[in-house]
Amino acid sequence: MATLLLSDGPPHPEQIKAAVRMRGTTLTALARAAGLHPRAITLAMRQPWPRAEMALADFLGCSPADLFPDRYDANGNPKRGKAVASQCKAP
């Protein structure tokens, strides 16, 4: 996967799409093959969808955290939810 990326840091969604296409398939076909909704992987490019992220990462030979580092913690577990009011500091 790293050889297809043009910059350091998280890959741009277009780089991910290009990597899938260069391997001979589409995001839609990949989602169907994984038993997901046909648009699941396309939607996962914009919003968290752990099953779709895992299918994409498995296909590309990397971890979901490599593709979407802002969605995963240091242990590679998906981050969930938003901060609750008790965790937020008042101004």
Task: Supply the pLDDT for residue 86.
Answer: 42
Q: Which tokens sit at 65?
A: 């955290």
Give every CB contact of residue 32 below 8 A, 6+ residues apart in sequence. Answer: 38
Containing structural domain, residue 72? 9-87
Q: Is residue 67 part of a domain?
A: yes
Looking up residue 73, the CATH number of its domain turns out to be 1.10.260.40
Structural domains in the chain (count) = 1
What are 67-88's pLDDT values in tens digits? 999 999 888 888 875 544 444 4
DSSP state of 12: P
Nearest residue to 34 (alpha-carbon basis) of 52, 48, 47:
52
Share of the chain above pLDDT 90, in %: 67
